[in-house]
Amino acid sequence: MFNHGDTGTSDRMNRTSVLLVSLALVGCALGTSLVMESTYEPPESSDVYYVSLGDSITYGMAGDTGVRMIHPYPCQVSEALRLERHLNLAVSGATVSYGAGNNTVNQLFVVPSDADMVSVMIGVNDFGFNAPLGEFGDSTPDTVYGGLDHLAKGLKERCPDAFIFFMTPFKYLSYSGQNGAGYTLKDVANAVEDVCGKYGLPVLDMYEDGMFSWENDPGCDGLHPTQSFFKRFTTKQIVDFVKRESGLF
């Protein structure tokens, strides 16, 4: 997950946007796409359009195998809510700051303005890359706080009628201390809470309440939860949260 990339220029970011749009034509089950468009219409299906943003955890990377799981958690959530449309824009290695070429600035470029629901889980790669944490009030993506502010504000402007929510990163079971920049992953989770509070966006706290542990997920690599863990814990948490907070279901 912590594969370093360059910061990129605006030309490269534009090319990345074109690539994301091109990949949007491929289905989730192929394991190489960024998109899941359901191939069936379940009984009493919902026309809510769900878009998910994030890093390899949202993309669905199965540990350090380099293989994408068949049903990443956004796919599971879509099926549980009987959604007809789901777009997964997550990219492995993505950051919320300019810490890598794959960052949520690029993902924001291609979020459909007609999305009804948008979820974001991001931040663990910023921690792993030792990106500057910054402070509350930063507004440019040079720091974690600034990247979160840029993304939250950008999503509200791009999808003013959507239910937008963030999730804090899961605990990093293999590394719980400070990074090279002197902060912890809990500090990143706090930054998510701070910035979302500024913009009135609800937060599902996966750091404290996500149930991610060696006991609950013995097959994980310490960073990426397994598909079975998502199915057992995460999907229900997200579905219950959305039903309680969104007013869409």
Q: Is residue 238 part of a domain?
A: yes
CATH code at position 71:
3.40.50.1110
pLDDT tens for 135-173 read 999 999 999 999 999 999 999 999 999 999 999 999 999
Q: Is residue 131 part of a domain?
A: yes
Q: Is residue 216 part of a domain?
A: yes
Range of the domain at 210: 10-245
Which residues, including other chains, have CB under 8 Å from residue 216's CB and lie 6 or more apart? 229, 232, 233
Q: Is residue 197 part of a domain?
A: yes
Average pLDDT of the residues of the chain: 86
Question: Has residue 27 got a pLDDT over 50?
Answer: no
Question: For residues 55 and 96, is the Cβ–Cβ distance under 8 A?
Answer: no
- For residue 217, the model assigns a pLDDT of 96
With CA atoms as reference, report the closest residue to 78 among 119, 33, 25: 119
- For residue 36, the model assigns a pLDDT of 43
Question: What value does the mean pLDDT take over residues 26-38?
Answer: 38
3-state SS, the chain, equals CCCCCCCCCHHHHHHHHHHHHHHCCCCHHHCCCCCEECCCCCCCCEEEEEEEEECHHHHCECCCCCCECCCCHHHHHHHHCCEEEEEECCCCCCECCCCCCCEHHHHHHCCCCCCCEEEEECCHHHHHCCCCCCCCCCCCCCCHHHHHHHHHHHHHHHCCCCEEEEECCCCCCCCCCCCCCCCCHHHHHHHHHHHHHHHCCCEECHHHHCCCCCCCCCCCCCCCCCHHHHHHHHHHHHHHHHHHHCCCC
- For residue 43, the model assigns a pLDDT of 52
- Lookup: tokens for 29: 């089950």
Question: Has residue 32 got a pLDDT over 50?
Answer: no
pLDDT band at 5 (very low <50, low <70, confident <90, very high): very low
For the chain, give the percent of residues with pLDDT over 70. Answer: 82
Q: Is residue 138 part of a domain?
A: yes
Distance, in Å, from the CA atom of 86 to the CA atom of 99, rounded to the nearest integer, reads: 27
pTM of the predicted model over 0.75:
yes
Question: Has residue 31 got a pLDDT over 90?
Answer: no
Our count of domains for the chain comes to 1
Distance, in Å, from the CA atom of 131 to the CA atom of 117, rounded to the nearest integer, reads: 28
Question: For residues 67 and 228, is the Cβ–Cβ distance under 8 A?
Answer: no
Residue identified by tokens 């509200």 is 156
Q: Is residue 2 part of a domain?
A: no
Q: Minimum mean pLDDT among 44-48, 115-119, 156-160, 193-197: which range? A: 44-48
Q: Is residue 60 part of a domain?
A: yes
- For residue 146, the model assigns a pLDDT of 97
Residue identified by tokens 């394991």 is 31
pLDDT band at 66 (very low <50, low <70, confident <90, very high): confident
- For residue 99, the model assigns a pLDDT of 76
For the chain, give the percent of residues with pLDDT over 90. Answer: 76
- Lookup: tokens for 212: 């991610």
pLDDT band at 1 (very low <50, low <70, confident <90, very high): low
Q: Is residue 3 part of a domain?
A: no
Question: Has residue 26 got a pLDDT over 60?
Answer: no
With CA atoms as reference, report the closest residue to 88 among 30, 125, 46, 36: 36
- For residue 151, the model assigns a pLDDT of 98
Question: Has residue 3 got a pLDDT over 60?
Answer: no
